[in-house]
Amino acid sequence: MTEPVSPQRFRDKVAVVTGAAQGIGLAVARRLVAESASVVLVDRSELVHEVAGELRENGGQAHGVIADLEQFAGAEAAMAEARQQHGRIDVLINNVGGTIWMRPYEHYDADKIQAEVQRSLFPTLWTCRAVLPYLIEQRSGTIVNVSSTATRGINRVPYAAAKGGVNALTASLAMETAQYGIRIAAAAPGGTEAPPRRIARGPDGATEREKAWNRQVVDQTEDSALMKRYGTPEEQAAAILFLASDEASYITGTVLPVAGGDLG
């Protein structure tokens, strides 16, 4: 379990983490549990139950929910289950998303463009809408959306557009909901090293041309970071948990780049 900054920082808080079966979402869930949150892990993979079980074995309070968050019905059902399990939702971390294909824009067909936006914008739109009635009723709550500094990058234009939408959603929804005591913020990760994915995000780049396009993204990402390296899931989780915590009580409508100096 991840070493906590403050073991009691999320005591008595209920946190929902989407895309929690692996990668940044898993790092966030582990750290929330380590800092005493009751965590609901949402993913469309059965793997989420295994992860929740491991967290419980380590003494954490964790519950897994399977849902397809690319559909509003899935988001609505997941938020309803979290509310039913715990009676409230204090924190929502919207982590679902990620580039499926990397290529110059002229090589995306219409289906790929739509799939990228469906993957990286709609889950956040849907879950924000699904959780909002609960937070308004409570007159409290925090949403942290996971964006990306790839909003200014190469070979991922549809993904960049989707994450730009996440940034706009964050700013606009923060303006609407501050009157209810709700905060909405976003973290924008840069390149992040992670263990090999247990669930493939999309088809592997099998051709030499596809491998070259992928390499261009890696090179540009490293070059754009002042620190000239990729981050770790734990470094991303640290920033996300700060924004989710009461330590960030005067922060809303803000996108925080977490990218080694790349502002996106």
Q: Is 9 a member of any domain?
A: no
Predicted local distance difference test score (pLDDT) of residue 187: 98
Instruction: Please give the single-letter amino acid code of residue 147.
Output: S
What residue numbers bound the domain in which 92 lies? 14-258
Number of compact structural domains in the chain:
1
Sheet strands side by side (includes 38-43): 61-66, 38-43, 14-18, 91-94, 141-146, 182-189, 255-258
Q: Is 111 a member of any domain?
A: yes
Q: Is 6 a member of any domain?
A: no
Predicted local distance difference test score (pLDDT) of residue 247: 97
Q: Is 53 a member of any domain?
A: yes
CA 17 from centre of chain: 8
Strand partners, 18: 42
Predicted local distance difference test score (pLDDT) of residue 1: 44
Q: Is 264 a member of any domain?
A: no
Domain CATH code at residue 238: 3.40.50.720
pLDDT per position as a tens digit, 50-67: 999 999 999 999 999 999
Predicted local distance difference test score (pLDDT) of residue 147: 98
Q: Is 173 a member of any domain?
A: yes
Predicted local distance difference test score (pLDDT) of residue 203: 63
Low-confidence ranges of the chain (pLDDT < 70): 1-5, 197-205
Whole-model pTM over 0.75:
yes
Q: Is 263 a member of any domain?
A: no
> 174-181 long-range contacts, Cβ below 8 Å, gap at least 24?
174/252, 174/253, 174/254, 175/253, 177/132, 177/135, 177/136, 178/252, 178/253, 180/135, 180/136, 180/139, 180/140, 181/139, 181/140, 181/141
The residues annotated as belonging to the active site are 159
C-alpha to C-alpha distance for 185 and 150, rounded to whole angstroms: 17
pLDDT per position as a tens digit, 187-229: 999 999 977 766 666 665 579 999 999 999 999 999 999 999 9
pLDDT per position as a tens digit, 250-263: 999 999 999 999 99
Q: How many CB atoms lie within 10 A of CB 142?
A: 25
Q: Is 3 a member of any domain?
A: no
